[in-house]
Structure 1
Amino acid sequence: MATLTLERPTTPRPLNRPRRRGRTLAGRIALYVTLAIAAAAIMLPFVWMVISSLKTNNQVFSIPIQWIPDPVVWENYLDIWTKSDMATWLRNTLILSVTVTCLQVLTGSFAAYGFAKTRFPGRDVLFLAYIGTIAVPWQAYMIPQFILMSRLGLNNTLWAIIALQAFSAFGVFLMKQYYESIPDELCEAARIDGLTEYGIWRRIVFPLSGPAIATLVLLTFVNTWNDYLGPLIYLRSPEIWTIQIGLKSFVSQYNAEYALIMTGSVISVLPIALIFLLGQRYFVQGIATAGLKG
């Protein structure tokens, strides 16, 4: 007769939690130290540029490096405005950056809504063809664009840069990826209530895409502000030069004024740094959620 034997339950071995916690803490400390060293290495050139803008010309490239300027030459930030046309350069760059950014947000978000929330024949093929233009380098169609702008009479005007950069395939891609994370049920309910596609985009989809808009604003503003080749080709008159072209001419004219060159570089970088500091939270959130789908 078979007998039923009951096995004694085995108690699980206790985990060595203190050791694991110690390893986790050590790993975090090593990660933070590595990130701090990397951040210091990245910020070192910027810090050196700011310090050099407060030195005399002889102290900028002195060996060993003098990290604390003595004396502190605050006059450099006054002389740069009298020796250069910095106000005009900043004004032109600001006009271009703000205008191009607003147009790219408007056109990119509206086109992205069409690709993400509406259905029409050939939608996916058209989107792939449009996004494929990102892989084409600008140098490949730079000459045809220049001929086109010349025939339109836009050369040597700010309108040439605005017309060429008002549309962005990357902006459409970024906004479309974010729009796909918004539930389609919201758009369907709005259509039932009688809203047009423009009304759905303006009242529902666009207000919900704050992080993606902030990301696109930041990237577009930085790229337009730092653009050198485009203004170099199309802007020939000194009164419409941007900050990058103006600084290049200033370096050529005052090639021995090292402190003033550093001062001008600090002024050109400062708006970008401020915008990034103000919008970094939305920028990280927009990048993190752009690839999610509902």
Structure 2
Amino acid sequence: MPSGLVALLDDVAGITKLAAASLDDVGAAAGKAGTKAVGVVVDDTAVTPRYVVGLAPERELPIIAKIALGSLRNKLLILLPAALILSAFAPWAITPLLMLGGAFLCFEGAEKVLEAFGAAGHEEVEETPMEAAHLEASKVSGAIRTDLILSAEIMAIALADVADSPLLTQGVVLVIVGVGITIAVYGVVGLIVKMDDIGLHLARRRAASAQLIGRWLVRGMPVLMQVLSVVGTAAMIWVGGGILVHGLEVLGVHEPAGTIHHAQEAVAHASGPLGGFLGWLVTATASGIFGLIVGGLIAFALHQIHKLRH
């Protein structure tokens, strides 16, 4: 009997170690996949605060919460099953779909760059007055629709990074990435939209240090939004271009990936201790330039089609 109990305990210990190792693998894969989606995450964080502009301050956090819940539904109830079905029955389609998403990111980024230089961008829809409840519902539904596109890209990037793992591991990683990124994005968004309120509250305090911090927060809010917009646009173009470069290489088209790799290695070898960072910077810059060119061509083509139709 004792020997049987010892054997059982050994088996339990072995299973526990195996489970712990599996969790470590899943955690590492989720972290790596989430890191690769950083460009889309930054853009998501930059885009979302605009959906509470013009609404009552006391409704800002409830609206962000509604959008976050909709984002979770998008990721877990729509995109997760679709991703697992795709991985199980049509894994060959992952790279082309990922490239379509990358091209969309490049297009969106190029549109924002063109708009910054005064070119015509997305058509502006004339807003008509509506009651507060209807306006809130309209903004929430619009934000959730936009989130579906960004979430699809995040999940596709994560799926491509664990495509060779067992289906169960893929599912767990996608759940971790989806939930983790949603909490991170909308937690930061909540802080951003309430930053001016926090600043006003501190500015009314008696302590001089609190007043200084409060005024800094209020004045810094527009600057932060502008920086987020620029960083989000740059991240979209860089990530989209990188996806296209890698996708072309996977499909057998070795340029521009080959040239970028050679440039990255040359800079890395010539830069000593800074080689890793400067090599990455070369890759990111080259991917961004390629993404901007592709996005600009797509934007130009769509604008010409729009002119012909009208």
Q: Same fold (TM over 0.5)?
A: no
Structure (1 or 2) with the greater helix fraction = 2
Task: Provide the TM-score with structure 1 as the length reference.
Answer: 0.28
